[in-house]
Structure 1
């Protein structure tokens, strides 16, 4: 007979999701996913939808990292330095969002959806910049300073 007191795998995953979204990193990643989705909708409604590529890629990358960190896979797969990988993801996302958003806001006269996507893209660029800053501070605090060996025995 099945044990009904043990939580099911789906409930455990849902519980992990609820708990991870409440953490600072989880809330930043979920905000990145949400704003990227909003940008995809805005660029999809505009006359030129080619600018949505950055938003699609960054949303997928944020979802992958959200899942990896939520499930604790970063503690299991030690071959990858997840902190540095996430730092590069956020840094590249910040630069790309800021560049694409400035291009779309400056050249989007007459296309309201494109301008809205650009404005949301600027907000996303600031969010990714904040994520990069917090990750950089974490890298800086976890770096160990050891004395260099001079090779001279005293």
Structure 2
């Protein structure tokens, strides 16, 4: 057994604090907070059917934050984590933009639905920014080397 004076919960909190200080951690934390606000707005609305998008994106953002925070992406290598994160962020951006526009266009008289739509637009922009940064990270890690020709 490892003889440590620090409890596992304290170790997890220190990892969380240090990860949230990174750019990716800050973006994921903001995505979680915005998704929670949107979920509350849509749940208070007369038409609470749009809350499923917020629930799914909230769960996926929490899942990816835990995976990246605990560095499980380095241990589980049969999944391409950057491409999975890109797909998550791109789909989240599209879904938030579509549902937000629907809520803003048809939400007359329902303040919670309009508020959810406004926050959804902000979340769509944030998820799109996350997808852009992830794509640029994938693009920069690719190494284009010349194919060997066999000639000396």
TMscore range, shorter length: over 0.9
Find out whether 1:11 has 2:44 as its counterpart. no
Give unmatched runs, 5+ long, in structure 1. none
Q: Aligned equivalents of 2:110 and 2:32: distance in 1?
A: 24
Match of 1:49 in 2: 48
Match of 1:37 in 2: 36
Match of 1:96 in 2: 95
Structure 1 vs Structure 2 CA RMSD: 1.7
Match of 1:77 in 2: 76
Q: Aligned equivalents of 1:146 and 1:97: distance in 2?
A: 39
Match of 2:108 in 1: 109
Give unmatched runs, 5+ long, in structure 2. none
TM norm structure 1:
0.93
Q: For 1:23-44, what per-residue CA distance to the aligned partner results, in whole angstroms no more than 9, with x for missing partners?
A: 1101100100000000000000
Q: Aligned equivalents of 1:46 and 1:9: distance in 2?
A: 40
Runs of 4+ in 1 over 4 A off after TM superposition: 151-154
Task: Report the secondary structure of 1:110's partner residue.
Answer: coil
* Cα distance, 1:7 vs structure 2: 1.3
TM norm structure 2:
0.94
